[in-house]
Amino acid sequence: MTNIAVCPGSFDPITYGHIDIITRGSHVFDEVIIAVLHNRNKKPTFTIEERMKLIKEVTAHIPQVKVDTFDGLLIDYMKEKKARTIIRGLRAVSDFEYEMQVASINKKLGPEIETFFMMTNHQYSYLSSSIVKEVAKYDGDVSGLVPDIVENALRRKFNHV
């Protein structure tokens, strides 16, 4: 049986922090599905298609990674994909309380599914997509926070070309 894990998120945009968690997860699981959430409560900078394209390009070197999208409950998506593990990155203690709540409701909805928490590499502990977008919006330097292709996409999105 293939050991499939799902790494869900908005990835708006994908950062080196995300890539760190995805890469490390790919060393533990046979297959890692990066599941891009279509969140109706957020107004994303990039479309689902743009995010998926960027993710595919920056993870192309990791053969265990697949990129997909989902809408609705993560647990339903997990069951559809026959995945048994959710990978979640933790940056700081402040992330833990929220992630614990989500993991608890997921366990109630899908008792057979486990959540695998990974501490991000300390060099990315401050990094979030929101911070990257804020810096990029004002034409700040986001090199070292996101891959070049993402940086270029941000420049185009915010008309800093």
Confirm whether 146 is domain-assigned. no
Looking from the CA of 41 toward its CB, the CA atoms found within 13 Å total 3
- Residue 13 within any structural domain of the chain: yes
Q: Is 11 annotated to bind ligand?
A: yes
Does a structural domain hold residue 161? no
Q: Does 91 qualify as catalytic in the annotation?
A: yes
Residue 143, marked binder: no
* Residue 112: domain span: 4-125
- pTM: predicted TM-score of the whole model, two decimal places: 0.94
How far is 106 from 8, CA to CA, in rounded Å? Answer: 13
Predicted local confidence at residue 1, as pLDDT:
67
Residue indicated by tokens 């994909």: 81
Q: Report which secondary-structure segment, H or E, holds 35.
A: strand 31-37
Q: Is residue 150 part of a domain?
A: no
2/73: higher pLDDT: 73
Q: What is the pLDDT of residues 65-91, one digit of tens each?
A: 999 999 999 999 999 999 999 999 998
Section 118-127 average pLDDT: 91
CATH number for the domain harbouring residue 118: 3.40.50.620
Q: Does 98 carry a binding-site annotation? A: no
Q: Which of 26, 42, 108, 155 is catalytic?
A: 42
pLDDT digits (tens, 9 = 90+) for 5-63: 999 999 999 999 999 999 999 999 999 999 999 877 778 999 999 999 999 999 999 99
Q: Is residue 32 part of a domain?
A: yes
Q: Are 2 and 14 within 8 A, CB to CB?
A: no
Asked if 61 is an active-site residue, the reply is: no
Please say if the pLDDT value at position 161 is more than 80.
no
99 is in an annotated binding site: yes
42 is catalytic: yes
Flag whether 61 is in a domain. yes
129 is annotated as an active-site residue: yes
Asked if residue 93 has pLDDT above 90, the reply is no
**Is residue 18 one of the residues assigned to a domain?**
yes
Kindly state whether residue 139 falls inside one of the protein's structural domains: no
Domain count, the chain: 1
Q: Which of 40, 91, 104, 107 is catalytic?
A: 91
Tell whether 72 is in a known binding site.
no
